[in-house]
């Protein structure tokens, strides 16, 4: 969606209706490519970090903290999906299965070889990355809805394999693991320590996303997203980059899956089926895949909305559907875009930002 000029509202030359339309356009535009000033970005990051670090100390209770942990590990998976969808334009509706690859790899290593979280994490992440790349191979030939269907099929197949995998995968009953191996002086059975473990992983995911988004690699991915043929014609190895981003996305998913496993300490195939995958796609679209904090916002909205409004699963699905429609119609960039636009509208518009603009992420 093009960035809208809001200067008409300031001059007073345009009629009232046109000004209102301009304001609406300003608030609903997708301005992912227009970066916020560095100072604002830094303050936002610091405030967010302080809030997340302070959360266990705010006395919100174990229930809140439990849902916060769920939100954070979900957000880590979403950062991977955000990279492949927001940066490279490759949507997946089978992302929960990739998380499942990581979770099951770690669980099987625990059950069969007695490896704990720390020892199994690199293998689990690597396997998720490899599987992400293998599923990505069809994207070299097909794209768009075809690839989405492929990811959906992978998700369904993955669940069938796990359900019928005998004692190796625990079949439909699933697999159990023990606690996270303690680090010197840190026992992860304590919920707040478990929270900080997941928060640290989220921090890494956010930093990695920022660095990728603001690197040459990130710009290359966006070039592919905007016009694959043109990117190819200027010498970009499109196939390699597409597979690369899917593997990076798989790394994130693997990390999220392992953290999910050691939080629940019991996994079964239903956690990684079609519904959880669709929820992940929904979250990333709601939050805004092209925005640095979009995946986190999406995870917060979907995990906390039923809790705050006391919605049952049916009401929640209706609410998510309505939210998604509103986002598509009014905020194509997601809630992240809306927050940014509100900030810019309050502080004087996008013109200055646009002049500074490059292709970075805000």
Partner 1 sequence: MRQLGLGLTIAAAGLAMALQTARADEELPIGVIAAQSGSFVSAGNTIVGAANLAAQQINDAGGIKVGDKTYKIKLYIRDNRTDVNVTIAAARELVNDIGVKAIWGTETHDFSVSMAKITGPAKVLQFSGNSSLGAVLDNKAVAEDGWLHYTFQSEPQEWQRSGSTGKGVLSLLTPQLKSPPKHSVVFVGNDATGQYLSSHYVKALEAEGQKVDLVQYPPDTTDFSPLLTRIKGMKPDIVHFWYNGDSTLTAFPQALKLGVAPSYFLFGVDPGIYQERSLKADVPVTLSCVPVCWGSSPYPEVKQYFDKYFGLGAAKGPQSSVSLLYYDYFFWYAKALEKVGKIDDPDAVVAELLKSDYKGVVSPVPLVFNKHHQVTFATEVCMVEPNTSDQFKCAVEQPPAAPPPGDNGG
Residue number, 10 or 190, with CB nearest to partner 1: 190
Q: How far is the CB of 312 from partner 1 (least distance, A)?
A: 3
Q: Which two tokens stand for residue 173?
A: 């009953």
Q: How far is the CB of 267 from partner 1 (least distance, A)?
A: 8
Cα–Cα distance measured from residue 262 to residue 106, given in angstroms and rounded to the nearest whole number: 9
Residue number, 62 or 343, with CB nearest to partner 1: 62
Alpha helices in the chain (DSSP H): 7-11, 16-28, 38-54, 62-82, 95-113, 117-136, 145-163, 166-169, 191-213, 216-226, 228-233, 238-264, 274-287, 294-309, 313-330, 335-347, 351-356
Q: How far is the CB of 69 from partner 1 (least distance, A)?
A: 9
Cα–Cα distance measured from residue 327 to residue 348, given in angstroms and rounded to the nearest whole number: 24
Cα–Cα distance measured from residue 187 to residue 182, given in angstroms and rounded to the nearest whole number: 5
Residue number, 44 or 171, with CB nearest to partner 1: 171
Report residue 344 CA to chain centroid gap.
Answer: 24
Q: How far is the CB of 188 from partner 1 (least distance, A)?
A: 12
Residues that bind partner 1 (CB under 8 A): 61-67, 70, 163-164, 171-174, 176, 189, 191, 263-266, 268, 270-271, 303, 306, 312-314, 316
Residue 266 DSSP symbol? E
Q: How far is the CB of 325 from partner 1 (least distance, A)?
A: 23
Residue number, 49 or 172, with CB nearest to partner 1: 172
Q: How far is the CB of 356 from partner 1 (least distance, A)?
A: 41
Question: How many CB atoms sit inside 10 A of residue 164's CB?
Answer: 11
Look at the block and give the residue holding tokens 């690199």.
122
Residue number, 96 or 243, with CB nearest to partner 1: 96
Residue number, 221 or 302, with CB nearest to partner 1: 302
Q: Which residues of 312-348 are buried (b: 16+ CB within 10 A; e: fewer)?
A: eeeebbebbeebeeebeeebebbbbbbbbbeebeeee
Q: How far is the CB of 146 from partner 1 (least distance, A)?
A: 25
Residue number, 2 or 313, with CB nearest to partner 1: 313
């Amino acid at each position: 969606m093009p960035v809208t000029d809001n200067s008409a509202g300031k001059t007073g030359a345009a009629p009232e209706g046109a000004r209102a339309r301009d304001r609406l356009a300003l608030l609903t535009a997708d301005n992912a490519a227009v970066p916020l000033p560095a100072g604002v970005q830094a303050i936002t990051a610091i405030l967010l970090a302080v809030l997340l670090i302070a959360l266990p100390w705010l006395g919100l209770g174990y229930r809140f903290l439990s849902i916060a942990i769920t939100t954070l590990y979900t957000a880590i998976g979403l950062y991977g999906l955000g990279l492949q969808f927001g940066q490279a334009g490759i949507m997946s509706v089978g992302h929960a299965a990739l998380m499942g690859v990581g979770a099951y790899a770690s669980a099987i290593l625990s059950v069969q070889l007695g490896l704990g979280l720390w020892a199994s994490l690199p293998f689990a992440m690597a396997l998720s990355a490899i599987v992400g790349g293998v599923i990505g191979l069809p994207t070299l030939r097909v794209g768009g809805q075809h690839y989405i269907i492929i990811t959906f099929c992978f998700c369904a197949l993955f669940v069938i394999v796990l359900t019928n995998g005998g004692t190796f995968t625990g079949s439909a009953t699933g697999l159990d693991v023990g606690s996270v191996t303690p680090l010197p002086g840190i026992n992860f059975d304590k919920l707040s320590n478990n929270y900080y473990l997941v928060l640290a992983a989220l921090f890494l995911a956010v930093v990695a996303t920022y660095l990728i988004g603001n690197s040459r690699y990130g710009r290359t991915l966006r070039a592919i997203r905007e016009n694959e043929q043109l990117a190819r014609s200027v010498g970009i190895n499109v196939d390699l980059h597409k597979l690369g981003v899917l593997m990076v996305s798989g790394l994130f998913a693997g990390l999220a899956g392992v953290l999910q496993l050691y939080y629940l300490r019991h996994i079964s195939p239903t956690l990684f089926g079609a519904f959880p995958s669709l929820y992940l796609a929904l979250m990333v679209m709601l939050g805004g895949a092209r925005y640095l904090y979009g995946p986190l916002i999406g995870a917060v909205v979907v995990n906390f909305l039923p809790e705050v409004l006391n919605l049952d699963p049916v009401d929640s699905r209706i609410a998510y559907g309505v939210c998604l429609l509103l986002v598509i119609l009014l905020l194509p960039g997601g809630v992240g875009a809306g927050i940014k636009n509100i900030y810019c509208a309050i502080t004087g518009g996008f013109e200055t930002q646009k002049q500074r603009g490059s292709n970075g992420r805000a």
